[in-house]
Structure 1
Amino acid sequence: MADVTVISSSIVRPENINQSCREKIHLTPFDYTHVDYTQRGLLFPKPDPETRFISRLKTSLSSALDVYFPFAGRLGKVDNQDDSTVSFHVDCNGSAAKFVHAIAESVSPLLALQVTEMKDGVFISFGYNHMVADGASIWNFFRAWSKICSNGQSEDLDRPLVLKGWFVDGIDFPIRIPVSEIQTKMASSGEKSTEGRVFHFTKRNISDLKAKSTAKVALVT
């Protein structure tokens, strides 16, 4: 595998940090089932260097974070001394998302992005904490970011965010987790985890595969 060189590493904050929008999002029991970072990537043809696409990506990302501000937040922790438990929440404090031009060595923000320039294309990869968004939300964010980067605006920016999760009747928030369980989770975090890959096929790709499969079946029969 070819070496990848880090060209720059920076943080990108929302364009307009509105303190009135600062939220504390309490996590539901379902959120606690996805504590790890999800990693995805998008591959594009290499653009014209004259477009200064790295600068455009960062500027448009800042605008997109104005609306999808939880991605610029941090995971907050509260120690409950009265019963020796710990509670977590998403603190929408506008701290920033991480933007790396080449490779990301670590992931501490709720959203980190990596843009790698290859010989014949550009690869944008990202990692996000699943506690702050589900799969549909992260792709809505990317669509909005893409439209801002391409056109300077996006109708998706008018779409309201759903910031309050669904709690089953009888469950109070913030949820309190015994400190002993947190320590057990940290001790087992070094275990090797499985890896998965997701491939996207266009309609034309699927049609071509079906045609090849049909041709092979015809030869056998």
Structure 2
Amino acid sequence: MDSSSSLKIVSKSFVKPKTIPEESKQPYYLSPWDYAMLSVQYIQKGLLFHKPSLDSIDTLLEKLKESLAVTLVHFYPLAGRLSSLTTETPKSYSVFVDCNNSPGAGFIYATSDLCVADIVEAKYVPLIVQSFFDHDRAVNHDGHTLSLLSVQVTELVDGIFIGVSMNHTLGDGTSFWNFFNSWSKIFQGQESNKGDADLCLKNPPVLKRYIPEGYGPLFSLPYSHPDEFIKPFESPILKERIFCFSAETIKLLKAKVNQKCGTTSISSFQSITAVIWRCITRARRLPAEQETSCRLAADNRARMYPPLHKDYFGNSISALRTAAKAGELVENDLGWAALTVHQAVTEHTSEKVSQMIEQWLNSPFIYHIDRLFEPLGIMMGSSPRFNKYGCEFGMGKAVTLRSGYAHKFDGKVSAYPGREGGGSIDLEVCLLPEFMEALESDEEFMSLVSS
């Protein structure tokens, strides 16, 4: 691929909800989980499609904007901006979403001289992919001046990339993919119901924010200025590669792990997590006594008591942590690592979730990437359960999925459903170059990889 490949921004505009919901005239409050996200980066995920036969790209852009305007009626907070209330004595900093004083969600059209093959066939994800997303390096607190949602449509020589950047204080991966799928469904619906723009969603977002009983609706942080709690994060130079695992490989791996442990309860995802944790630890050649951690992003919706609705729009995740000494992780078999991961998940009960919320209410904290993700550990983000390839926008199934600059560090792994479906999984692995090279030489790991 030509290193001189570049991206050209052709146009920028804003999209407002097609009709203004009455409730959007009130402040939209945030939950404790949302506040904790203020210093991390936007969620940036996108899909690459083969270019359909178009009379004009303008027609596609117009349809995307029209369907986005309808989708924003259902997801109206995404068209707003963050707003703050502060006091000096006592120190207090409160944030909410103002849906009235905002130009709307961002919409960008860009062009690139790249081809689909330049992205799909590259061994490592090309750096230029990061420019397929708006709000590069922005933290969520920047949503005071930046749009909370920004869509960038990049036209390639033979493809279309739709990159979505969503402010993480507004929602987690479940919320993000609910939005993306809803937008695609409304797009498809408008294609088949000409003139019928007010389409109902089968799974509309539940926008009512989770506010613990006896609290809120407006929470406050013990600060008077954002400089006291906002810490931007700069990624080191990383190699980023997508490793694909077939449905058959995953099925056999899960069976093998459960057999070793004399159980049937260890999941496919826990099994693949154990593999990547062991193999990255081995690639780093850590001293036997060195502790290494494994974190997993866990959805709390079903773990709450009473449970939150599965379509709850907002943040409802915890970063579960388990750890082991490098020696015991590498010297014991795969079943040992899988059981360690499994225990961390099973111990994450509704009581644990309640304790974490209580802890935040007593002493509010903000996540910082450099503290949340330890240098000698791994962090499993995203989920192969999200319906990512269901977003088609009239262009058929996406060729592949890619992410932006956000939340990338040595040991960050994002799990996506494989394009073939059926339980296949793709892992997007970010490592320092020397560790990536060692991982690619790891026989145990590479014997499981299909491409």
TM range (shorter): 0.7 to 0.9
Please report the RMSD computed on the Cα atoms of aligned residues, expressed in angstroms. Answer: 2.9
Matched, 1:5 2:5: no
Alignment identity in percent? 30
**TM-score (norm. length: structure 1):** 0.80
2:181 to 143, 149, 153: 143
4+ runs deviating over 3 angstroms: 18-21, 103-107, 169-173, 190-194, 196-200, 204-207
SS of residue paired to 1:61: helix
Residue 104 (structure 2) aligns with: 96
Q: How does 1:66-77 map to 2 (within 5 A)?
A: 66-77=73-84
Residue 17 (structure 1) aligns with: 20
Residue 37 (structure 2) aligns with: 34
CA-to-aligned-CA distance 1:83-131 (integer Å, 9 cap, x gap):
2311001222263000010255546111011000112211000111111
SS of residue paired to 2:17: coil
2:61 to 54, 69, 92: 54
Matched, 1:177 2:221: yes
Query: 5+ unaligned residues in a row in structure 1: which ranges?
Result: 208-212
Q: Tell me by how many angstroms 1:164 deviates.
A: 2.1
Larger mean Cα displacement after TM superposition, 39-48 or 195-204: 195-204
Query: 5+ unaligned residues in a row in structure 2: which ranges?
Result: 111-131, 139-145, 191-196, 236-368, 370-406, 426-443
Matched, 1:130 2:168: yes
**Which amino acid in structure 1 is aligned with residue 42 of structure 2?**
Y
**Which amino acid in structure 2 is aligned with residue 24 of structure 1?**
P
Q: How does 1:195-206 map to 2 (within 5 A)?
A: 195=408, 196=412, 197-201=414-418, 202-203=420-421, 206=424
Residue 210 (structure 1) aligns with: none
CA-to-aligned-CA distance 1:20-64 (integer Å, 9 cap, x gap):
532322222211222231111111120222262111101111111
In structure 2, the CA distance between the partners of 1:124 and 1:21, relative to structure 1 (3 Å rule), is same
**TM-score (norm. length: structure 2):** 0.42
SS of residue paired to 2:9: coil
**Which amino acid in structure 1 is aligned with residue 208 of structure 2?**
L
**Which amino acid in structure 2 is aligned with residue 13 of structure 1?**
K
Q: Tell me by how many angstroms 1:78 deviates.
A: 0.8
In structure 2, the CA distance between the partners of 1:110 and 1:56, relative to structure 1 (3 Å rule), is same
SS of residue paired to 2:82: strand
In structure 2, the CA distance between the partners of 1:165 and 1:23, relative to structure 1 (3 Å rule), is farther
Matched, 1:111 2:328: no
1:161 to 206, 215, 222: 206
Aligned residues: 208
Once residues 19 and 173 of structure 1 are traced to their aligned partners in structure 2, the CA distance between those partners, rounded to angstroms, is 19
CA contact under 8 A between 1:26 and 1:165: conserved in structure 2?
no
CA contact under 8 A between 2:134 and 2:151: conserved in structure 1?
no
Larger mean Cα displacement after TM superposition, 46-55 or 102-111: 102-111
Residue 43 (structure 1) aligns with: 48
Larger mean Cα displacement after TM superposition, 56-65 or 152-161: 152-161
CA contact under 8 A between 2:12 and 2:106: conserved in structure 1?
yes
